[in-house]
Structure 1
């Protein structure tokens, strides 16, 4: 005996906005309906959800466009990061995501350190391609040149 609802917000492991789902009455009554995650299916709700979907799609496209513009902007940048290094090219310390984000900020590109995708900090001199995850669908690459002070 399930209840049919239309989702007004994304719900993990259940569905996305606009999906029509069948759930247990208690789940609907105690969680989805009071928190305004869903409503019972009717023509008015369907129209409102379509408007929400259109707005979300437009916002998504705008975010992707901004991320693509930023990816193009960082593609031509070569960051030079001077660090203390030994004679064999090993660094005293390492270059981490925070340092790369700060170097990008000096070049006029503001990004959070969590956007910089490093498996592990860079620990030697040289030139590296570092990936930036600007959006779930858009990635950029910046060249990082680590030089000795």
Structure 2
């Protein structure tokens, strides 16, 4: 019997996959547990529509991320941090602070784990940070860090 898997089944198939399985396995386990449905003509058409919609959504999301990456690359950010008498910061400027400022500027949530700084920022200056999105999209951002006495 041909079935369309609705969810991953260890050793049998993955969600969205159309596969031939034994009749008893399909009738007694997969279909009652709602892990699969029979691969009828209607179900196959429905699966194709869902796949196309998913592909379109993925492409649109990728375009949005590329546009956001271009915007980030053209948007330098400025952060302020307290410096001590030696000219070094109390602590360091963290990727979380950079992500927070980028989120504020772009009005879009940017995860702190997506921001990569090559070395800890302990002194005022201009630095490069990378923002890594899904699908291998990377934006390089200019980060200017100014010191304020405190």
Task: Specify the TM-score bucket, using the shorter chain as the normaliser.
Answer: 0.7 to 0.9
Moved over 6 A (4+): none
Residue 20 (structure 1) aligned to one of 10, 18, 27: 18
**Counterpart in the other structure of 1:134:** 133
CA RMSD of aligned residues (A): 3.1
Distance 1:102 1:21 in 2: 46
Deviations 1:43-89 (A, max 9, x none): 22211100100000111111111111111111111111111223555
Larger radius of gyration: 2
Q: Which has the higher strand share?
A: 1
Deviations 1:6-36 (A, max 9, x none): 2345x3874353x22467838x82xx64564
Distance 1:58 1:39 in 2: 24
**Counterpart in the other structure of 1:90:** 88
SS at match of 1:123: coil
Q: Which sections of structure 2, spanning at least 5 residues, go unmatched? A: none
Cα 1:40–1:119 change in 2 (3 A) is: farther
**Counterpart in the other structure of 1:51:** 49
Q: Which sections of structure 1, spanning at least 5 residues, go unmatched? A: none
Q: What is the TM-score when the length of structure 2 is the normalising length?
A: 0.72
- Does 2:110 match 1:112? yes
Say whether the 8 Å CA contact 1:100–1:116 is kept in structure 2: no
Distance 1:55 1:96 in 2: 39
Say whether the 8 Å CA contact 2:100–2:112 is kept in structure 1: no
SS at match of 1:136: helix
